[in-house]
């Protein structure tokens, strides 16, 4: 399955990850099953932000409330891997929610994943102008 994302959005996310290489950056993704329309940064409130992330619950709950009220659809989230790998970690696997998109940034690239049947499947991320 192909999922599109705009060049400006993906470039901004990769720049953000590169600007703070010692801390996992994270945020929310909005759009539809076949496209990412917008990425919204969120604070990483994890105890060990150098190797894990936890999206600020206030940002997550606000997005869910807005969606229920007819706002943008929350389709997943993004986070960076300071170790440079854009592949899901064992910690990612343990906390993944089935059906949600996982955009992982690492080593200057972005890869898109979805959790299905207790494992990650990579999706084709198509960058548009």
| 24 is known as an active-site residue | yes
For residue 46, give the nearest of 15, 68, 25, 76 by alpha carbon: 25
Instruction: Point out which residues pair with 76 in neighbouring strands.
Output: 29, 101
For residue 36, give the nearest of 95, 111, 90, 107 by alpha carbon: 111
Please tell me which residue in 24, 67, 97, 116 is annotated as part of the active site: 24
Annotate 2-56 with DSSP letters as a single string: EEEEEHHHHHHHHHHHHHSTTS--EEEEEEETTEEEEEEEE-B--S-TTT---B-
Annotated catalytic sites, by residue? 24
């Amino acid at each position: 399955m192909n999922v599109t994302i705009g060049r400006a959005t993906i470039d901004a996310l990769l720049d953000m990850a590169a600007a703070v290489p010692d801390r996992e950056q994270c945020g929310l993704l909005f759009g539809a099953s076949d496209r990412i329309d917008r990425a919204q940064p969120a604070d990483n409130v994890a105890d060990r932000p150098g190797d894990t992330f936890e999206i600020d619950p206030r940002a997550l709950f606000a997005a869910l409330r807005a969606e229920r009220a007819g706002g943008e659809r929350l389709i997943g989230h993004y986070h960076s891997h300071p170790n440079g790998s854009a592949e899901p970690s064992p910690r990612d696997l343990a906390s993944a929610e089935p059906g949600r998109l996982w955009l992982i940034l690492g080593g200057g690239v972005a890869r898109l994943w979805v959790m299905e049947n207790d494992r990650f499947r990579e999706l084709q991320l198509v960058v548009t102008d």
